[in-house]
Amino acid sequence: MSAEHIKADKILDTRGLTCPMPLLKLKKELKGMKSGQILEVLGTDPGSKTDIPNFVRKRGSELMGITDDAEGFTRYHIKI
């Protein structure tokens, strides 16, 4: 499924933030979500491209996809 067709239950905007803030905000956001819900994270920190997949894998959630947006940021779709 391509990123445009994934309907997120929540969007977390971490654009402009650098390590470790995107991960810290993601961890907080995930705590308030239910199993099966989808979170879309928007980010510009290059480090997040490795940090977020590693964290999601460790947590046992599913990383549905990473998409580079034409406007210069990245979208991460995470299924809780």
Residues that bind another protein (CB under 8 A): 13-21, 23-25, 27-28, 44-47, 50, 54-55, 58, 71-73
Helix residue ranges per DSSP H, the chain: 21-31, 48-59
Nearer to another protein, 2 or 50 (CB): 50
19 belongs to the catalytic site: yes
Q: Which of 26, 20, 74, 17 is nearest to 49 (CA)?
A: 74
CB of residue 6 to another protein, shortest distance in Å: 21
Nearer to another protein, 14 or 39 (CB): 14
Residue 61 CB neighbour total at 10 angstroms: 16
Nearer to another protein, 16 or 65 (CB): 16
Q: Which of 11, 13, 16, 19 is catalytic?
A: 19
**Could you tell me the two tokens for 9?**
């239950």
**Could you tell me the two tokens for 5?**
């067709």
As annotated, the active-site residues are 19
